[in-house]
Chains A and B, each alone.
Chain A
């Protein structure tokens, strides 16, 4: 896959940089430890390193705060999630593109009970489908920044990356804080 984003190949960030002051050359990080003490087959989050997945670039960019995905120029098709083969032409020469960080809620709800293992402490949490500005993509994700009761169809949100406890990264949406009480 080639990179049509802003970073030239030579300046592309390593998946994980060497520690500050280290003279050792950067090398691929060891496989991540689980975020919670869960067996691998009970852990939800995708494996992210270059020796584990063909879309490691997605996670490396996310670490820089950029949400990106693959695009097939032959079909003018933006994929979600990022892929290694186009589902339309089945070509494998895909480019990486950054996605808009702003969007609006198409639908939202919340999990108030019945959370999966490792997410019980998050309850209640909001989730939603978000239409990204200017691209034909509607992504599902957690929505933070507001109580679920204060979310609504059409509300603007921003994408943000965040780090899991074991060093992996993931993304979520953040809504502007609710207006404070009158006069407050």
Chain B
């Protein structure tokens, strides 16, 4: 048991920052993120014997945290999000930015909060740049094609919300319109 506690301390040292950032982006709240991170490590301690591949510890911890988050959200039933169907289609062309893009983290979090968890999680994992499409698919228990589709739609939604409007954007077809999804929709 002593070595298990030592193993958990090693996991904390190596992954607590990434796990906290993930939790923050999922919950949008520093307090909830800290609680979730702590719960995730607590759950990891009781299941340390299930970690067969230490190299996959980070993905394992992320999966534990996401499951805890989903349970919490389901229990509270208060999370308001844009449902999957309301997220717009992928535009025919990538939208041009009208210069250097500067994304405000607070606006980003607001946009992420508006998204259904099914879109939000792959986007966060995608932009962490530490998880492959296959990793994300495993995390979410989805086919890799579904993950790619959700990522494309989620990115288009973020671009519509965050990127500055550019002249000539009207050449895009089917570009997601934040207003078109009806703002925040209770799930």
* Same complex origin of A and B: no
Chain B residues within CB distance 8 Å of chain A: none
Chain A residues within CB distance 8 Å of chain B: none
